[in-house]
Amino acid sequence: MTITVAVNPLARIVNRIEPPPFQRLGLVLTDALATLVIGNDCLHLDAASATTLRDLFTAVAPIAALTRSGREFWEETRRREAERQAAEEARMMGEIQPESTSEPVPETRERKPVMLAAVEAAHRQQLSRLKFMLKVRRQAGLDTEPGPDPSAIRAARQAAGMSLGQAGDVIGQHGWAWQIWETGQVEMPAGFWSEFNEKMSVAA
């Protein structure tokens, strides 16, 4: 199978800094040919006519990390719930006697609701994804200047009368990414800021 996509020098940087966290996903680059290995399949990428490999690896690594983290989270949740149900059933059948009340019962930390924990885990992955993207862009020399102040990001969006999602769409990003930049949790890449302002100027 032959697929034509981009072999940008940035692809080498991405692969060296933080390889995509799949068990059987690898990248072999030479001057003339790039081979992407996924499981048992090898995709030969023509370097001469390629145009999008950089975006592929920038996107795959955080998504794979999110997928793996989410799977581990739900497996742990199911395991704990199964243990709790088994203990409760055994207690009801009299196999486990109630603990003596003569000794103080140790305090237990209240477990967070499953949905809240899932939202927090997803937010951590979003932060990680944006930090990784900023790191890669700087390593590649795409963003040499510091990003804008969060208050300037918010003011620009509000002046344009846009929602978070609409502002993100202008530069091809998600609304949650814009919100994170706007709240100062992760620095917005200077290139994205310039692109947004340029497109707003043209639209005006």
CA distance 25 to 19: 9
What pLDDT is recorded for position 56?
53
Same domain, 65 and 140: yes
Beta strands at 41-46 and 33-38: parallel, antiparallel or unpaired: antiparallel
Same domain, 29 and 120: yes
Q: What is the pLDDT of residues 37-87, one digit of tens each?
A: 444 445 555 554 444 554 555 555 554 454 555 566 667 777 777 777 777
Same domain, 173 and 140: no
Same domain, 52 and 138: yes
**Is the distance from CB of 55 to CB of 137 less than 8 angstroms?**
no
Crossing angle of the two packed helices 9-17 and 114-139, in degrees rounded to 10: 130
Q: What is the pLDDT of residues 148-203, one digit of tens each?
A: 999 999 999 999 999 999 999 999 999 999 999 999 999 999 999 999 999 988 87
What are the b/e assignments for 65-100, b being 16+ CB within 10 Å? Answer: bbeebeeeeeeeeeeeeeeeeeeeeeeeeeeeeeee
pTM: 0.45
Is 100 within the bounds of a domain? no
Query: How many domains would you assign to the chain?
Result: 2
Q: Give 118: exposed, middle or buried? Use CB within 10 Å, 0-12, 13-18, 19+.
A: middle
Same domain, 19 and 117: yes
What pLDDT is recorded for position 87?
74
Is 184 within the bounds of a domain? yes
What pLDDT is recorded for position 177?
93
Same domain, 89 and 183: no
Is 102 within the bounds of a domain? no
Q: What is the pLDDT of residues 105-150, one digit of tens each?
A: 454 455 557 777 778 888 888 899 999 998 988 888 888 889 999 9
Is 84 within the bounds of a domain? yes
Same domain, 140 and 164: no
What pLDDT is recorded for position 81?
75
Mean per-residue pLDDT, 11-29: 38
Is 101 within the bounds of a domain? no
**Does 32 score more than 60 pLDDT?**
no
Same domain, 50 and 78: yes
Is 183 within the bounds of a domain? yes
Is 152 within the bounds of a domain? yes
Which residues span the domain enclosing 170?
Answer: 147-191
